[in-house]
Structure 1
């Protein structure tokens, strides 16, 4: 209803107001000035197209205009003002008496037999929660990774076997001109305009930079003549945008195309080809990858061993723990509704108080605490 009312009355934040509001966001500034690189990184992190984020910002600003208009033009009638003034200046006398239960406790004496009788009749109100202590075995993949043995020879062999993983991806410096499709824009009109701008640039009538500054709805790159301020890497942007960007040669201009943000023209300014990272440069990542790969294998192997023997010798975790090379640990006291450590997880408490574990003293099935 609010959006409908706003549309009926013609409220709409301008592109300049949207740009100013975004530029004023503290987390997008560096040394007190708007940082376009931070803005692009923020959009990538949020997985939002620029047009979508600016549309949301425009809606917020437009609603603010509407609320300001309503409150700024509201008025009070003479009768309403009179009633308010009469109530505001009204005074009343009252008397207050406070009765506190504690004031009467000293005069009350309850015989022991009455206390016992009340207790006998209300025993359910004086029950403590059932509690247990758990024996458990924890298979933690991160701990397994930390214990994996590594040296330069092992890591060099892993690097040689997975050399394709350690490359700097191709990146491209790009300039753009964006015409948004946000209401009240009509798609046919926008498409016609972007094609006219393309022809003007191709013919030399106008430069790409001048068109970007004057026409682009991406006000941030537009202010830089269309320069997006950072290199584009595949996988971080709108698929339609990436498809065009990575199909162009250096210093070439695209024809108009539809992206998630609107209709665009893009120019590829520079291309930095993919490069192989030397072993020393990639060593830290290689070690992490190797540890994780080995830990994943150990995790699967030890979990299977643990599950098999824990099932075959249910009632005692020691044989299963020994076979898996792990230690049996003990929890603190745990209730069905509260616990610490692994018992903070409700799945652990549910298993602990299930009939097979609590009543029959059997080992539980393996419980996954984290994906």
Structure 2
């Protein structure tokens, strides 16, 4: 049943009711999911109102689906009001179809019980962990989709109802044994053929073309001879890596001194604590401790803090930033020192300082190499950004060339060869650079050389200043440049026409029984080969369009091969083939599924034809 449903779901009509992916679980009884209507409705279907809110939600879902599927291309489509209105109308059409199907299901008394909804939910792998239902996963997923449990359950109920209807239709179509046998014979049929090929290239070599023919073709096909827009560019490339210098020991020492906190571990203290609910309890415990009581044993037995008590009160090592204020203010400075009773927000505390680890500073010798690399990189980056500003100022102050930018940067400008949008030099092949080059802002009057660009930064601490040295707009190539190409095209076209004319004449003669027509034309038939419908050959379609040959006489036809040659075909024999049973079963299933799809489409058409559908103002709103 589910296989039929999956096969049928590829049809555009069935996608209307199978478009919602069910990823929902409910644990309690199902509530109502109602979207209230207003007078500003989208449509009324046999009195059932489709509200503006429902349409807006369906439209939003379709937009999100297309955006995810089309990516960047969707932004261009979304800018077209006509396209988005079409998407909106499609969303409304689907809502109308869903309403019609729901009414039809009601008439047929198709219903889904709460238990069926719950069982379908429990069977969904998306909400299972290790094969078992995971309530936390369920809540997270339906929340991300904007559903409450009741809303999602109602969507699932509708989906299951639709599945019942689809299955009812899909399972009604079948094929008789005789029909299956005839279909297998037709699909698996094999045909024996021979071929005679008229070589178009050989004919083309014998053709002649006049200057007038060439000129006329050039005039009529100028759009085929466009030269792409071309650029020559001068640029200066700045690279932070090229500015790296070996730091001095003084540079490293200064960095170490100014960032010593990065290499310092502050003093750490280790505390143990006993927590009580009342001061009286704390006072009693403190007295026991002062009398020689074991702190760890008392913490395990009496402390109400379950985490520290399990460890005998031990809180582990604490740095100043992680030490609670109550412990900081306890005034403990010596190992083993015991506090008094401390009132806190969680009750009453008794604290003991167990150990002290003094501040530790890594000596420069331990971090010398790492610091040398860091200082080298930091100095290079700093110099890089300062150089960018200087080069930017120079390029803007002298916009007619890159000479000033060259002097300031100490980098010689590079001049490229001619290139187009599809073959940008590797050194400039960055989106940021190409955007500036091709947006027209650097072109001068009449498309010539214009201004310098501002600094263009790209990934990897690199930057460019570019200017367009020369520019060639898109233009038709001159005739002399494409004359040879046109000549070859015209010769080939004449050869094809000659080959087709020759083939038609030969076909007439062969069908008339003139068996020597091929030899008279210098052609011979190939050896027999057997083809079936799956043969990867450009002439197979023609072969299977030919009528079965009469006894002792081939059936003739004309086609073209993959090289564009004209081929005469002699069909000598037609024989039945065989198919594996699995392939037969798949073929029968495909036919029955297709018939079910047609039946479902007809059902929707009839429901629409008989329904009273009234459109409201929201149907056209954007």
TM-score (norm 1): 0.49
TM-score (norm 2): 0.31
Structure with greater Cα Rg: 2
